[in-house]
Amino acid sequence: MSAGTAQRERGADGLRAPLRRRRFRLLYAGQCLSRTGDFVFQVSLAGYAVTAGSPALLAYTLFGQATGTVLMLLVGGALADRFGARRVMLGADLARVLATAGVAVQVAAGGHEVWAVAACGLLLGLGDGAFEPAFTLAFTELLPKAELLAANALQSIALRTAGIAGAALGGALLAAVGAGGSLALGTAGFALALALVLVAGRWPVPDRPASGEGLLKEATGGIRYACANRWLWVSIASFGVSVALVVAPAKALLPLASADVLGGGAGTYSLLVGSQAAGALLGGLLVARLRRIPPGVLVFGGMTLVCGGFAVLAVSSAVVASVAVAVAVGAVLSAATVAWAATLQSRVPGELIGRVSSVDWLVSLGVSPLALVVVPQLLAYATATTVLLTAAVVALLVSAATVLVPDVRRLAWPLTAPAS
């Protein structure tokens, strides 16, 4: 490899490369603000529900949001593929501004109706479900393929940083200006993101010939494409298993397991969560340097290590070792998910990315609630440590087997657009 070629590859892989593009900078800045505002809103709403003795406010908002997200994901990708990422993101952000503002107004007024809160939550979820596949598509419309890994790493860093900053800011605002004011400032994050997408202006998008099908039938195109490509359906299914058996249940099982083997109660669990978040931030920073590893090996080799890490966390009785493992789990999980997003964007034809992304999101989001419902039933027969350890070992074997699937193992970072 010549020195010039190596320099170009380093430039493409570097985190700064996507930020040299004005439209991406604006979109990225908007998402930093939007994600932070989202966390401010969540923390403010939860804090208000607890202090005001209004658990129904939180419950109905979250129920409406989850319902709206799943419903919109069924067609959100098709909308993005048909109308382009920018239009759908603008509509999604507008819906989220109206929804969060509606909740803020009700809280500031000192009362709320169940139907009104649920409606705001539903509108918020519809916005979320439309935004995510459109945002995935926007990366491919704005950036060359060589910069997708770096762009997704930046997105991961923004999400982790927003989680830390938004949670702290939400608590501070709740104490300083009250629930109405803090919720309104959370809404401002979505409004600023909407404004920055408008400032970015229209960007050129590839020609996507109309299919002539109705929206619902067109939405199934992502499912048909995934089923026709073994590397894709195997990958999505494997991720679903990891989420269903480990990633989602760990939120309920790890606090109990850590209390059993580590002691220390909520403080110890909080330390593990913080360590995992710090590791996730580190993983986002480092993943762009791992492009020499084939994507299938990076993603599912990483998920194998993640599942193994959760198995260790289930039985570890040493706090220092558990903290180190939590950091590693956060870092590898972050790197694997970033690499998966870039693989999806690189390998799927441009006219189908939104719909395939919807399928991917649906599998992950669909299995999470189901897994959390099953957990209490299992705890009637076994300890949290046993359940988490068993689930982690099974998911580890599935992830390891996924690496061995030829179509997955042989994936490469493509230099040209895939054929339609």
CA dist., res. 119 & res. 135, Å (int) = 24
Domain spans of the chain? 14-200, 220-409
**Whole-angstrom distance, CA of residue 239 vs CA of residue 337:** 10
* Distance (Å, whole) CA 268 – CA 87: 45
Model confidence pLDDT, tens digit, residues 13-68: 478 889 999 999 999 999 999 988 888 888 888 777 777 666 677 777 878 888 88
pLDDT, one tens digit per residue, over 94-106 is 999 999 999 888 8
pLDDT digits (tens, 9 = 90+) for 129-184: 999 999 999 999 999 988 999 999 999 888 888 888 887 888 888 888 888 888 89
% of the chain with per-residue pLDDT over 70: 90
Domain 14-200 and domain 220-409, same fold? Reply is: yes
Q: CB of 258 within 8 A of CB of 322?
A: yes
Structure tokens at 333: 């999980």
CATH of domain 220-409: 1.20.1250.20
Distance CA 321, CA 325 (A): 6
Q: What is the DSSP letter of 411?
A: -
Between 240 and 375, name the one with better pLDDT: 240
**What's domain 14-200's architecture?**
Up-down Bundle (1.20)
Provide the token pair at 327: 């950091």
Distance CA 150, CA 19 (A): 10
6 — pLDDT class (breaks 50, 70, 90): very low
What's the pTM value of the predicted model, to 2 decimals? 0.80
For residues 392-399, average pLDDT: 96
Residue 416 confidence (pLDDT) above 70: no
Reported as a single tens digit per residue, the pLDDT across 319-332 is 889 899 999 999 99
